[in-house]
Structure 1
Amino acid sequence: MNNSFQIILILLLITILLPAGVAAQEFDLGTLTLQESIELAQENSPVARANRYSLISSRWAFESFKADLYPSLSLSGDAPNFNKSIFTNRLDDGTLTFASQRQSDASTSVSIDQNILPSGGRLSLSSGITRLGIFAGENTYRWQSTPLVVGLQQPIFQFNNLKWRNRLEPLRYEIAQKEFVQEMESLAVQVTDGFFDIFLARINVENAEFNVARNDSIYTISQGRYQVGNIAENDLLQTELALRNAESSLTRSRIEYQRALNNFKILLGYTTDVSLSLEAPNELPDVDVDIELAKQLAYDNNSEALTYRFNEIIADRDFAEAKNEAGFSATLLANYGLNQTSTDFKDLYSNPQNRQFITVGFNIPIFNWGKARAEVNAARNQQRQVANSIEYQRNQFLQEVEYQVSQFIQLKDQVLLAAQSDTIAQRRYEVAQNRYLIGRIDITNLFIAQNEKDAARRAYIQTLGDYWMGWYALRQLTLYNFREDEMIAY
C-alpha cells in the first residue's frame, strides 16, 4: 500500500512539475535587440492587432462602396396572398348589394440594377410574373407576365452623391492604409521608449549597487579615520548617510526596473511571467536626411496631409449640395417593356404587348424667406473657413517635419557628446576616489563626483534613446525608410 502511494505521489509531482518546466522554456524570449522587440510587438501586441482590425474594417467599407458601382441582381416577390371578404357591389340598375369574394395572388420578379456614375441616375432591367386566382364556383386563374422592362430613374440638376463618394471613398481608404503604417511606426516609437526605459532603470540599479559597495567601503575607512582623529564626526556621519541613501536608492531602483520590465512585456503582447533580456544597440542608423525631401515625403505620404485634402473635398461637396438644393431640380422616370395576360400559362409569352411609362417630376423653390440663399452662403463660408484652416494646419505640419528632421540630425552629435561626458565622468570619479583615499579631497567633493558619474551615465542612455525614438518618429512622419531608401510598408 505504501509503494502504491509513493508511485501515485511521484506521478502527481511529475504531472505538476513537467508542464511548469515546459511553460518556463516556452516563455523564455531570450536576449532581444531593439529591432527584434519592435517586430515582436508589431506581431503580437494587442495594439498591433487593433490596428490590423481597424484597417480590415476600412477595407471592407471600401469594398462595400465599390459594390455600389457594379450591377446588382435581386429577386423579389410575394407569397400567395389569400383574401376572403364581403364587399359592396353596385348593380347595373344602381342598386347596392353585398357580395363575397375569395381570391389569391402571387408574384415574383428578378431585376438587374446599375447606378450611372456620371449622371447619378439608375438603370434597371426586370422580368416578372403574376398569378391571380379567383375562387367562385369554378376556380379560375389568370396570369400576367412582363418578359422585359427597361427602367430609368434620372435626377436632373440634382446633387450627385455617388459621384462625390467616388472621390471621397478611395481617399478615405488610402488614409486608413497610411494610418495603419503610422500606427505601426508609432508602436515602434513606444517600444523604443520602453526599451530604453528598461536600460535606464537597469543603469540606475547598477549605479545604486556600485554606490552601495563603494560607500560601504568608504564608511568603513571613515570609521578608522575618525577613530584616529583624522576626520571630524560630521564627515563620518555624512559617509554613513550616503551609505543609507545608496541602500534606499537601490531598493527603489530595483522596484522601478521590475516595473519598467513588466510594462515592456505587456507592450510586446506577453504576460509578466515571461523572461527576457535586452541587448543594447551597438550602432546608430547613419543616414543623411534632407529636410526638403523629408517635407515632400511627409506631405505626399502622411495621413494627416491626405486628411487635409479629404476635408477640402468634403467642404466642396457640401457647397455643391447646398447650391443644387437651392435651385431647380427634376426627376425623370421612364419605363419601356413588354407585357401580356392570359388564362392559360402556355400562352403567357405569346405576342406580348408594348408597355410604356414616363413621368417627369420637378421642384422649383419660389419663396422660402431666404432659407436657400442662407444655406448656400453658409456652405460657401464654411468652405472658405476649411480652406484657411487647412492652409494653417499644413504650414504647421511642414514646420513640425522640419523641426523633427533638424532635431534628429543634432541628436547624433549629442549622443557622441553624451558618450564622451560619460567616459570623463567615470574617470573623474575614479580620480576623486583615489584622492579621497589619500586624503587630498574631502568627502563632499567625492560625493559630487559620484553624483556626476551617475548623472552622466543616465544622460548617455537617455540621449541614445532619444536618438532612436527620433529615428522612428521620422519614419512615422514620412513613412519612408531613409536607411534603405524605400517606402515603409506592412
Structure 2
Amino acid sequence: MKNLIILFMLFVLQLLCTNCFAQPAQRTMSLQEVVELAQEQSAAARQAQTSRENSYWLWRNYKSQYLPQLSMSANLPDFSRTITPVTQPDGTIDFRPVANNYSELSLNLEQVIGATGGRVFVTSLMQRFDDFDRDQKRYNGNPAIIGIEQPLFAFNKLAWDKRIEPLRYQESQRQFLEEKEKIAVKATELYFDLLLAQTNRTIATKNLANNDTLYHIASEKYKLGRLSKNDLLQLRLAVLNADLAQAQATLDEQTATLALKTFVGLKDSLLLQLLTPEQVPATTVKAGFALAEARKNRKESTNFRRRLLEAESKVAKAKGDNGLNASLFATFGLTNSGGNFTDIYTRPGNQQSARIGFSMPILDWGRQRSDIKVTELNRQLVQYTVEQEEATFEQEVLTQVNQYNTLKSRIATTAEADAIAQERYDITKSTFVIGRISITDLNIALSEKDQARRAYIISLSEFWKAYYNLRQLTLFDFERNEALRAEATNKN
C-alpha cells in the first residue's frame, strides 16, 4: 500500500511538471491579429491592392477623355535632296536636282461632346517651306481654326460609356472588399488548421506522459501480482502509440505553421502559439437583413446592371452601324501666307469648309437584320443568366445565414461536452490508479476526452469560417452594425 501511495504522488508530480520545461521563443497571436495581418501584408492582399489601384487608374483614364485635350504635333524638319522629273513648257521631261525642307507645327485643343458623340476643336497651324536651290522661303498658316465634327444617327459610345463605366469602377471597389474578406476566410482556415494541430500535439504530449506514468504504476502492480500481464502489455502498447501520435502531431504542427506563416507573410523564426477564440459575437443575424445588405453592398448587384447595360449597348451599336450613317464636318478660321513669319498674322483672310456625308445600305441580303437579331438574342440570354445568378446569389446568402446561426448555437454544446469529457477522464484516471476500474474503461474515457476537445475546436473553426464567409457575402460587419469600407486609394 505504501508503494502505491508513493507511485501515485510521483504520478501527480509528473503531471504538474509536464509543462515546466523551458520553451523556445514564441509569439502568441489571436485570430483577429492573424486576419488583420493577412489582410495587410500577405501576397494575396498585395495582389488585391494592385488590382484595385489598376481599376482606379483605368477610371481616371476614362474620365480624362471627357476633359479638354491639348496637344502639339510637328515635323521639324522634313528635309529632302533628290532629283525630280520636271515637265518643261514644251511638254518634255527634264530631271532637276531639288533640295528643300518642309516644316509644320500645330497646336490643337479638342473637346468631346458626350451627349451627342461629336467633338469641337480649335487648331493653330504654321508651315514653312525652304527651297535651298533658289534660296527662297515661304510661310503659310492658320492662326485659328474652329471646327465641329458630329456623327448623325450613329451609335454614341461616349453616352453609353457614361452609364457603364461608373458601374464598372464601383464594381472594382466592391471586388476589393470581397477579396479582403476572402483573405480573412483563408487565414481563418489556416489558423484553425494550426490550432487543431497544436491541440493534437498537446493532447499527444499529455497522453504520452500519462500513459508512461500509468505504465510504471502498472509495472509495480504487476510485480505485486495485482495486474495481469495482458493489461500491462496493453498499457505498454498505449505508451508506444502515444509516442507515435506525438511525433505525428509535432510534424503536423510544423507543416500547419509553415502554411500559415507563408500565407500571412511572417518571415521570423518564432514559434506561433495560437489563442483559442472562444468569445463569439452575440449577434444573431436575420436572413432578410443580411440579404438586403448583400444586395446593397456586394458587387453582384452592380455587376448585373452593368452586364445588362452592355447588352443594351451592343443592340444599339448594331442598329446604329447598320442603318443610315451621316456625319457633319464644318470649320471656320483664318488663313494667310507670305515670305515672312509675321505675314501670317497680318490681315489674314477667312477660311470656311463644310461637309455632310452619309451612307446607307440598300441591298445587304438580310445582314443588317441578322446582326440586330443576334445582339437582341444575346441581350435576352444575358437577362436570363442574370436572373439565374440573382436567385443563386440570394440562396447562397440565406444558406450562409442559417449556417452561421446554427454553428453559433452548436459551440455551447461542444464546449460543455469538452468540459464533461475532461472531468470524466480525470475521475476515471484517478479511479484506475487505485485499481477500481479496468484499463478498457480508462481508454474509453481517454478517447472520449480527446474527441470532445477536437470536436470543440472544429466547431469553433466552422463557426469562424462561416462568420467571415457571411461578411464576404454581405460586405457588412454585424458586430459593429455597419457596412465594410475600404481605405482611400493611393493616388500618387
TM-score, length-scaled by structure 2: 0.88
**Cα separation, 1, equivalents of 2:436 and 2:339:** 125
Provide the residue aligned with 1:369 in structure 2.
365
Which residue, 327, 331, 346 being the options, matches 1:331? Answer: 327
SS state of the match for residue 483, structure 1? coil
**Cα separation, 2, equivalents of 1:83 and 1:335:** 32
Which deviates more, 205-214 or 162-171? 162-171
Instruction: Give the RMSD, CA atoms, in angstroms.
Output: 2.0
* Superposed displacement of residue 67, structure 1: 0.7
Which residue, 467, 472, 476 being the options, matches 1:476? Answer: 472
* Superposed displacement of residue 119, structure 1: 1.1
* Superposed displacement of residue 231, structure 1: 4.9
Which residue, 198, 203, 206 being the options, matches 1:202? Answer: 198
Provide the residue aligned with 2:342 in structure 1.
346
Deviations 1:371-409 (A, max 9, x none): 222221111111111111111111111111111111111
Which deviates more, 284-293 or 79-88? 79-88
Which deviates more, 434-443 or 74-83? 434-443
Provide the residue aligned with 1:48 in structure 2.
45
Contact 2:142 2:344 in 1 (8 A): no
Contact 1:266 1:272 in 2 (8 A): no
Provide the residue aligned with 1:6 in structure 2.
none
Structure 2 vs 1, CA of residues 185 and 432 (structure 1 numbering), >3 Å: closer, same or farther?
same
Provide the residue aligned with 1:163 in structure 2.
159
* Superposed displacement of residue 227, structure 1: 4.8
Deviations 1:24-52 (A, max 9, x none): xxxx7843222222222222222212211
Deviations 1:147-201 (A, max 9, x none): 1111222111212122222222221111111111111122122222222222211
> How do 1:81-100 residues align onto structure 2 when only pairs under 5 Å count?
81-100=78-97
* Superposed displacement of residue 306, structure 1: 2.1
**Cα separation, 2, equivalents of 1:392 and 1:481:** 27
* Superposed displacement of residue 458, structure 1: 0.7
**Cα separation, 1, equivalents of 2:225 and 2:66:** 97
SS state of the match for residue 123, structure 1? strand
* Superposed displacement of residue 440, structure 1: 4.4
Provide the residue aligned with 1:189 in structure 2.
185
SS state of the match for residue 386, structure 2? helix
AA aligned to 1:40 is L
Which residue, 264, 284, 298 being the options, matches 2:294? Answer: 298
* Superposed displacement of residue 412, structure 1: 1.6
Matched, 1:31 2:61: no
SS state of the match for residue 348, structure 1? helix
* Superposed displacement of residue 328, structure 1: 1.4
Provide the residue aligned with 1:128 in structure 2.
125
Which deviates more, 216-225 or 188-197? 216-225
* Superposed displacement of residue 446, structure 1: 2.0
Provide the residue aligned with 2:274 in structure 1.
278
Which residue, 57, 60, 69 being the options, matches 1:72? Answer: 69
Provide the residue aligned with 2:312 in structure 1.
316
Deviations 1:310-346 (A, max 9, x none): 2222211222212222211122222221111112333
Structure 2 portions without partners, runs of 5+: 1-24, 487-492
Provide the residue aligned with 2:17 in structure 1.
none
Contact 1:480 1:486 in 2 (8 A): yes
SS state of the match for residue 304, structure 1? helix
SS state of the match for residue 397, structure 1? helix
AA aligned to 2:74 is G
Provide the residue aligned with 2:216 in structure 1.
220
Provide the residue aligned with 1:357 in structure 2.
353
SS state of the match for residue 280, structure 2? coil
Contact 1:262 1:272 in 2 (8 A): no
Contact 2:143 2:344 in 1 (8 A): no
Contact 2:178 2:472 in 1 (8 A): yes
**Cα separation, 2, equivalents of 1:284 and 1:467:** 9
Which residue, 251, 254, 259 being the options, matches 1:255? Answer: 251
Contact 2:34 2:187 in 1 (8 A): yes
Provide the residue aligned with 1:7 in structure 2.
none
Number of equivalences: 462
AA aligned to 1:476 is Q
Contact 1:302 1:479 in 2 (8 A): yes
* Superposed displacement of residue 441, structure 1: 3.7
Provide the residue aligned with 1:17 in structure 2.
none
**Cα separation, 2, equivalents of 1:456 and 1:69:** 65
SS state of the match for residue 364, structure 2? coil
Among the aligned pairs, what percent are the same residue? 36
AA aligned to 2:160 is W
**Cα separation, 1, equivalents of 2:195 and 2:284:** 27
SS state of the match for residue 480, structure 2? coil
Deviations 1:428-474 (A, max 9, x none): 22233344345444322321221111010011111112222222221
AA aligned to 2:109 is I
**Cα separation, 2, equivalents of 1:211 and 1:156:** 85
SS state of the match for residue 305, structure 2? helix
Structure 2 vs 1, CA of residues 272 and 248 (structure 1 numbering), >3 Å: closer, same or farther?
farther
* Superposed displacement of residue 423, structure 1: 1.0
Structure 2 vs 1, CA of residues 108 and 454 (structure 1 numbering), >3 Å: closer, same or farther?
same
Deviations 1:263-322 (A, max 9, x none): 222222122523443333352111132211110111111123322222222211222212
* Superposed displacement of residue 370, structure 1: 2.2
**Cα separation, 2, equivalents of 1:165 and 1:240:** 77
Which residue, 90, 106, 111 being the options, matches 1:109? Answer: 106
> How do 1:323-472 residues align onto structure 2 when only pairs under 5 Å count?
323-472=319-468
* Superposed displacement of residue 66, structure 1: 0.8
Deviations 1:341-373 (A, max 9, x none): 112333221221111222223221222332222
Deviations 1:83-125 (A, max 9, x none): 3333343444444444443322111010001111111112111
Structure 2 vs 1, CA of residues 29 and 433 (structure 1 numbering), >3 Å: closer, same or farther?
closer
Structure 2 vs 1, CA of residues 198 and 85 (structure 1 numbering), >3 Å: closer, same or farther?
closer
Structure 2 vs 1, CA of residues 436 and 352 (structure 1 numbering), >3 Å: closer, same or farther?
same
AA aligned to 1:71 is P
SS state of the match for residue 178, structure 1? helix
SS state of the match for residue 43, structure 1? helix
